[in-house]
Amino acid sequence: MIRDPELLDQLIDTISRFVRERLIPNEARLAEEDAVPPELLEEMKEMGLFGLSIPEEFGGLGLTMEEEALVAMEIGKTSPAFRSVFGTNNGIGAQGILIDGTPEQKARYVPRLATGELLSSFCLTEPDSGSDAASLRTTAVRDGDHYVLNGTKRFITNGPEADIFTVMARTDPSNKGAGGITAFIVEGDTPGLKRGPADKKMGQKGAHTCDIIFEDCRVPAENIIGGREGQGFKTAMKVLDRGRLHISAVCVGVAERLVEESLNYAIERKQFGMPLADHQLVQAMLADSKTEAYAGRCMVLDAARRKDAGENVSTLASCCKLFCAEMVGRVADRAVQVHGGAGYIAEYAVERFYRDVRLFRIYEGTTQIQQLVIARNMVREVS
């Protein structure tokens, strides 16, 4: 559901130019310094990238799901770490507050998330609780008008820098399932909140993660999202459809960039007296990658339009995440193969992307979790 095609075209053109002229030339610097250059961060704020999916009433751009997907595909044509820094503010860092937060919580935090004044983070995963999120152990015990949080969260995106955290903690120890979990907004300077050292990862340099440790961390009761205990896991699940479609769109963008890199190299590089692109087996790899990237684009846009139309797209969002995350891995593998030995050398972008895209099959729900969601929803619909 595109509301104003002309305005959207202008936005996409602006972002495409920003990616092409500012981000792509700084990809090597991002990886080398393991940080988004400060001047680029400021440009992202000025462009409104921190508020893409935040409603206009809170200072964001208020994009529909289809519009956001098209923008995400453009942003996906550069290193994923550039997107990661503002992606949480548009996704799980803000959407939970927008969907279930109190009016006071929305007014206090969301406008500053939209401008990038605040950097957000989402704390669900723990050392012994990843895909099985309902079994988390972090506790929140009521003490007067506060809750005391204890526990450790793991692999937390933006953890080293975040200003606010959406934290899932168990408030009802007698309820071992999802119903005992409550969502809290915890400000980054709260006493008792500690940040572990930044994780050293396989890829996505510049997108930082770390452990977040709570040791008798006192959080005001008014910081429960929505003001009610036991709703935290439901809040987390509500934001997943949009997040999975967003990541799927990013995967499509990365795949399209890799197809472009592969095609250009195949045209320029010669083997056996002719360009690689004239060899049929290379052509087959290019064709397969183009086809899969196109299929992913069609899937994401169809699901996004259905979501904008008010349909329940839980199954379709998981289908998109499953296909697109796996698809971009295959495209990246072919891109390295087309480049041959050069694809294994850090000088070429495909080497970096090959490592970067591996994460897409893990976060926002692993491939195996998507399979379970899809199958269970299919059975439930028939039953």
Distance, in Å, from the CA atom of 212 to the CA atom of 123, rounded to the nearest integer, reads 8
Give residue for tokens 């990843």: 130
366: helix, strand or coil? coil
Give residue for tokens 């401008």: 115
Angle between helices 349-356 and 314-339 (to 10 degrees): 150
- Single out the catalytic residue among 67, 74, 126, 364: 364
Helix (H) or strand (E) segment spanning residue 345: none
Angle between helices 240-268 and 65-75 (to 10 degrees): 40
279: helix, strand or coil? coil
Dihedral sign, Cα of residue 324, residue 328, residue 329, residue 331: positive
Q: Are 249 and 300 spatial neighbours (Cβ–Cβ below 8 Å)?
A: yes
How do strand 120-123 and strand 164-170 relate by DSSP bridges?
parallel
**Residue 326: how many CB atoms within 10 A of its CB?**
17
Q: Are 194 and 213 spatial neighbours (Cβ–Cβ below 8 Å)?
A: yes
Give the CA count within 13 Å in the CB-facing half-sphere of 220. Answer: 5
| 39 tagged catalytic | no
Distance, in Å, from the CA atom of 348 to the CA atom of 186, rounded to the nearest integer, reads 41
- Catalytic residue ranges: 364
